[in-house]
Structure 1
Amino acid sequence: MSTVHEDTKAWLLSQQNWLQEAADRLLSSGQLHEEDLKATAELIKTEDGRKVTKHRAFTSLTQAPVASGELRLFGISEVEGIENLSPKSPLDFGKGNLVVVYGHNGSGKSGYTRILKRASGKPRAAALKANVFGDPPKIRQCKIDYGQGASPASLVWLADSDAVPALRAVDIFDSDEAVHYLTKESSAGYVPPLVLMFEQLAAACDGIKAKLQTQQEKLVSALPAVPQEYAGTVPAGQYTKLRHTMTQADIDQLTSWTEAQAKTLQDLGDRLKVADPAAGATQRRAKKAQLEKIIAALGQGAIALGSAGVQSIRTLHTAAKDKRRIASEAATVSSALLDGVGQATWRAMWDAAREYSRTAYPQKQFPVTDKARCLLCHQELQPDAQQRLQDFEQFVGSKLEAEAKAAEKAHADAITALPVPPTDEQLTTQCAAAGLDEAAWLDELKAFWVPTRSTHAALVAKEANGAAVAAPDVAPLAAKLQARAKGLDEEAIQLDKDAREFDRAKAAREKLALEAQKWIYQQKAAVIKEVERLKSWQDFETWKGFASSRKVSMKAGEVTEKIITEAYVNRFNAELEALGARRVRVSIVKTRIERGKAMHQLKLTGAKRGDDPVGVLSEGERRIVALAAFLADVTAKPHVAPFIFDDPISSLDHDFEWAVAKRLAELAKTRQVLVFTHRLSLYGAMEDVAKKNGEQWKKDHLVQRCIEAYSGSAGLPVPETVWTLRTDKANNLLLTRLQAAKKAGDGGGSEAYRALAQGICSDFRKLLERTVEDDLLNEVVKRHRRSVTTENRLSALSAIEPADCAKIDGLMTKYSFYEHSQSMEVPAFIPDEPELRADIEALKAWRDDFENRSKKALG
């Protein structure tokens, strides 16, 4: 055994730290509490907890278990509402080790067994029922008296409530247990501390795994579900297959979204919106043409009204002013009588006169002086006036004047040539025509043309009201508009191509995939969180794998094979031998290890097919084999606790019955054994086997009880009858009953006497039969015993005389009338009290005399 313990210690020191910690706590305290499981579950999550350490001593592995004091059952009483039990007095189990409770079928034996089985927490204990023939009881309970060591205890136990911890050590054999051992796998009834440690350690592993599972289940995914319309796309498929192994690069790739993808999505959307691509191409080219006009106008405005254009206009204006000044300064008309000749007002008047002259003097060259009148006052021109007009015309036709006029005309033409900035309404119309629907486009156009309008007005006014400010830089806007125009052109080209060969279904799929990709991009934060959750989930899967009880169960199997299975098999074979069933071809085999527990089952030995014992063995063989399995299972326990047997010899023949009786008496040498039976043969056999343990032992330990049922109630303890009492005690019992019958007759007449005397006569006949077996034949031969007992008994038979035989025979003949039914023609009259008393006392006197003669015969 020390080798097994050393091997176990070496195995523990080869395990991870968390499992060593669990084993150490278990060995130290005998069990693992909830706090231990929590602490160990947290330890398994740490790197240190998964290391293999060598520092623990596990000294308690070699410590022997401490046995508790002997457990004894003293009795059951005050039964209410359970089965049909309703005893008026306690069922007292006495102080001896071998308790035999006799009762007919239905007398309540199994009811008492069921109470003890339920109260001791046996796994196959059936629920206790109330008497189905009575009203539902208000109270269902009983009182159980027991003792643990030197400490007596008494408790009121409510039917079907929790088991009594102190009674769990009680072992009970009944028909249900027999069936279980024959047909089911079972673990050993007693598990040595070392094996129990593995069972508990396996259970602890399961508990730790369960805690990890509970924690893991709290890692609920918060990842948004893919919209149904994206379900079939490639991006959605990748989204739904997130893995804990994904890196940040993997996540970035999955959730990527670029401007190129956005443009492609926009283009595909636009193309799919177009029902007639050819018309769409025409529309886009029309918009492009409008854009080009806007761009051209912007270019013209930027050139004409920009810094260079404004400077150019200013230069022309300056030149015109300068030349006019020079011409005016050079204007010297000697005939002029007034100042201001050559100035602008004068020139305007002169130009008007020239124009009017064409009306007044058509076909004549201006100025007309011959026989002409003044064009203003219509007076005839005098010679001096004629000369003055000729001088004026000569002045106007001079070079300086011509240059001044040319400069002024150039300035005026430049002003006329300036582009007129569009109004806000015109800009809105242009934007609509060019497809510039966004408000930003109109704002940008206004940002150029609104200040340009002021520039144009200032130049037209010759900057009289302030200097003209050059128009803003239009290059960025023009570039954007050109890009827009280029895009429209490309769209038009694409639409032309679409009109010829566009696959709308494919484009729709591509668009849907891009929309799915964009949606996934929007879930990037959720994806990162989900991958973190999956990593945590996988951590728990790893930890749960470490917490598996499989390795513990495998080691438990090795240990169990060495210290349980082999001993279990040996005990079973020994029990078969002791019960006289060695010829029955069955064996106990280990079937498997379940969570550290070794499971065993009865199997046929040498069977060529997989038939189970139930289908092959006889009913008696099944019973004796089940009893052997039960005894092999429970007798290995180190603590001393009662064994309870409910009709253990059911279906057994006399040979097996005798073997069972001897085995039960052997068990009773070391512990309390309670036997409930309805067989008088077993009742007698138990008395015989008790004698084999010694007369003093029988006197000290054999406790015989009788119970019966009456008026629907069972479990009623009653005194022993003539069938069960010793003949001398039975003789006295009949005399006591006769006295009661006489008293009844004295008070109630002959009918009252005969009602009781009839039973006394019948039992007296039975006592005579017992007298023949126990007294006359000195118990050499008994009806309910298989053996003929001759040892120290045959010599007493020599005391028998003819008178003894005649005495017994006469009484037997006389009282057979009261035991066996008689015909109406030959009625059996009940003897009067004095006659009946004389016969009973005569038998008592004969027994005393014969006993003395028998003792002399034995020497």
Structure 2
Amino acid sequence: MLEPISRELLAFASASPKWLQDAMRRICTQADLTLQDTIEITQNLRAAHSLCEEGTFDCLREDHLKLPLSNEQEVTALTSISEVQNANRLAGGQSLVFANSGITLIYGYNGSGKTGYARIIKQVCRTRDEQRGVLANVFVDATFPPASASISYKTDEEEFSTVWIDGLEAPKALNRISVFDSSTAPLYADKQNRIEFLPAGLDVLPRLGKLCESLSEDLEEEIAELEKFVTGPLPKVRSKKFLTQLEDLQCTSTGPLPSASSLEAEFCWTALDDPLLLELENKIQALSAPDKVLAQIARFKATFEILKSKVENLLLLLSREGVEAFSQLIEEARETRKAAEIASEGRFSEDPLKDAPLSEWMEKSLSKCRVV
């Protein structure tokens, strides 16, 4: 005999962390979790990972479960379906009887009525299939009253009989019977819609799963906000002691988080760290005047630009085109000088002092200046 769901829940809780046991206790004792419950569960989760002060854990116990801890539960079972009228093409005056225990196997040829009886059971009992009603004989062009049948069932040892009419509500005791077939079973596993009723205890784990998803989303948002304050990657550290402590702080670590006192003991400041601090201060001071460094770099750049321009001009002059242009300028200068010499000789050909000695010409010019 299988363990009842209550014992399964207690076994699952005992193997879970305390914060999860506390969450299961809240789910089992309340119809819905309040905002305060979510805040306290989050606080307990943080405390379980040493991210805050101790939480308040009230773990799931047997007295929190309202489910019976034994298998003595009321059982409802179908015993027969008879007096069927206007349901598909099922023949009247027949009775489909179910075994009191074990399995009832119903077989027959296609069109013998197996599906018709299954449609009636779906209407009478609980199923996830759409309630479309049971049609009469669709091959006859006539109007029929609603389908009906006589349903016999028993609760424990007490037997009952009722007349079912399609469209009217069946006795609630029959809702304890769930119907599964090829069209309804996938709906339980695949269709993402809300189940209106779950047997007592079966809703605990689905609600716990939704709670964990919600907590995960909230923590991811918090991590994203904290990452905004991280301006750059942490410097690489080669210290084995530091790397060992860093591994313990990783999310993938299975061990407990190091305590604040252990971290302080491992990484407290000593006099041996003073020279390193002084060295870092000197490096920071050397980089404390970025404007001067930028101005110096700008001057270097301007000097290099001037040198670049001069070198480019020299390279242009030394190129083949530059040498040819320079030679052409020299030739033009020579021709211009020769032409000037020729022109000057013709201009002073009739000068009266052309043949006079220079010293005599200068003496006459000076005597004229004295007379004046």
TM-score, normalising length from structure 2? 0.39
Q: Highest CA radius of gyration, 1 or 2?
A: 1
As a proportion of its length, which structure holds more helix?
1
